[in-house]
């Protein structure tokens, strides 16, 4: 199986640059905050964190939820991606650039042209995000390893604004291997409202010897683009995350139509390069509905442990009519399925199988 000709070089370049990214991102100030303040979280937020971290009790001034966590290698660290959802109404979007209200027009004044009245108003949320990451020591929060501040400013047109809609956002940062608890806060501009959540996560050591093969979390991609340069500060993004020079929109819900992009992305730990420095990895992809095999793809072959693989949601069926047989290609029908990945490292002889569930509607 061959991957798309253009995407492979981009992804491999992204992996190479991510090794550089980890060191530089960790050493920068946050969002232009003065050096003496860069490592601090406001005492109002710190107090709320301290009140809730032991019991993991969230504060719901601004309700939100941390829904997923992915990670990808970045030198000796792991680039950790956190997905969270928050309702538009809870972010207090307000109009910007709006002409102040004027007194009632005199009778002789004419109304503004319809095209002027139809210009949508821009809405913006002006909030703060604070991240505090602590090591878990003896099953309890221990040393604080990082404090991060990120301005949370997004604009939308009032014509498309849906107050009750929950939007998906991401933020990411590289951390060393270990077990951690993330304390996360979304706060109003004046800190009068502070919402918090707590999230435990673990990161493996990408440089430690592996007895067998393992992978980062396997996930599906909706879209992937190359950026002109990697991000050098922690940012918040809507619907996508960044990994070095890559902008990746993941299908976190794992729900597809037969026409949707169906592509998996993951990194393999424990594979060994040959004496010439090249990898020889093979991955077999199969789709099952329950115990029944629905699709078997030709195995993919890879010369690097970073695997982006486009697949498809089509079945080739053998139709029998009397003594005649013919093949027919059909879209995969609605239902619940499992994608099985059978990974083999031809250099070391190691193998591993991973699975990920998905739904076709």
Q: 166 and 18 in one domain?
A: yes
Please say whether the beta carbons of 180 and 202 come within 8 A: yes
Assess if residue 356 is contained within a domain: yes
Q: 161 and 85 in one domain?
A: yes
Q: 205 and 145 in one domain?
A: yes
Q: 67 and 185 in one domain?
A: yes
Averaged pLDDT score across all residues of the chain: 86
3 state SS of 190: coil
- Tell how many helices (H) and how many strands (E) occur in the chain: 3, 23
Q: 322 and 282 in one domain?
A: yes
pLDDT over 50 at 6, yes or no = no
- Output 55 or 321, whichever has higher pLDDT: 55
Tell me what percent of the residues of the chain surpass a pLDDT of 90.
73
Last residue of a domain, one of 253, 286, 301: 253
User: Token pair for residue 356?
Assistant: 């990920």
Please say whether the beta carbons of 346 and 281 come within 8 A: yes
Q: 63 and 143 in one domain?
A: yes
| Number of domains into which the chain is organized | 2
Assess if residue 261 is contained within a domain: no
Last residue of a domain, one of 253, 288, 317: 253
Q: 319 and 233 in one domain?
A: no
Q: State how beta strands 292-296 and 64-74 pair.
A: unpaired
Q: 150 and 62 in one domain?
A: yes
pLDDT single digits (tens) 26-64: 433 333 333 334 447 999 999 999 999 999 999 999 999
What's the confidence (pLDDT) of residue 323? Answer: 75
What's the confidence (pLDDT) of residue 120? Answer: 62
pLDDT over 50 at 332, yes or no = yes
Assess if residue 292 is contained within a domain: yes
Assess if residue 260 is contained within a domain: no
Averaged pLDDT, 142-156:
94
Domain that holds residue 38: 1-95+124-253
Last residue of a domain, one of 197, 226, 253: 253
pLDDT single digits (tens) 68-113: 999 999 988 999 999 999 999 999 999 985 444 444 544 454 455 5
Assess if residue 263 is contained within a domain: no
Q: 54 and 148 in one domain?
A: yes
Q: 231 and 145 in one domain?
A: yes
Q: 185 and 240 in one domain?
A: yes
Rounded to whole angstroms, the Cα distance separating 344 from 347 reads 9
Assess if residue 259 is contained within a domain: no
- Gyration radius (Cα) of the chain, Å: 25
Assess if residue 111 is contained within a domain: no
Q: 323 and 240 in one domain?
A: no
CATH code for the domain of 86: 2.60.40.10
Rounded to whole angstroms, the Cα distance separating 353 from 285 reads 10
Assess if residue 258 is contained within a domain: no
């Amino acid at each position: 199986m061959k991957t798309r000709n253009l995407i492979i070089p981009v992804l491999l370049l992204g992996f190479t640059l991510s090794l550089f990214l980890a060191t530089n991102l960790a050493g920068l100030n946050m969002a232009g905050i003065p050096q003496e303040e860069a490592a601090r979280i406001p005492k109002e937020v710190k107090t709320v964190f301290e009140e809730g971290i032991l019991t993991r009790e969230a504060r719901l001034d601004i309700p939100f939820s941390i829904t997923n966590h992915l990670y990808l290698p970045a030198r000796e660290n792991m680039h950790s991606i956190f997905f969270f959802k928050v309702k538009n109404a809870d972010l207090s979007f307000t109009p910007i650039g709006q002409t102040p209200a004027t007194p009632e027009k005199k009778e002789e004044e004419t109304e503004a042209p319809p095209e002027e009245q139809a210009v949508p108003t821009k809405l913006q949320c002006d909030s703060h995000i604070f991240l505090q990451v602590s090591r878990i020591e003896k099953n309890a929060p221990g040393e604080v390893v990082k404090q991060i501040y990120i301005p949370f400013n997004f604009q939308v047109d009032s014509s498309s604004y849906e107050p009750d809609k929950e939007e998906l956002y991401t933020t990411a940062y590289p951390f060393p291997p270990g077990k951690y608890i993330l304390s996360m806060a979304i706060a109003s501009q004046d800190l009068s409202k502070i919402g918090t959540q707590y999230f435990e996560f673990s990161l493996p050591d990408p440089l430690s010897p592996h007895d067998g093969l393992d992978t980062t979390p396997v996930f599906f991609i909706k879209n992937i683009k190359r950026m002109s340069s990697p991000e050098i500060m922690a940012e918040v993004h809507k619907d996508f995350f960044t990994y070095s020079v890559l902008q990746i929109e993941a299908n976190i819900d794992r729900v597809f139509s037969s026409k949707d992009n169906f592509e998996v992305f993951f990194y393999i730990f424990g594979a060994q390069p040959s004496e010439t420095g090249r990898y020889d990895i093979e991955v077999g992809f199969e789709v099952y509905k329950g115990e029944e095999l629905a699709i078997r793809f030709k195995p993919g072959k890879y010369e690097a442990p970073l695997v982006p693989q486009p697949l498809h949601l089509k079945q080739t069926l053998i139709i029998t009519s009397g003594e005649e047989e013919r093949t027919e290609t059909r879209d995969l029908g609605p239902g619940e399925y499992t994608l099985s990945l059978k990974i083999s490292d031809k250099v070391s002889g190691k193998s591993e199988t991973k699975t990920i569930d998905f739904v076709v509607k």
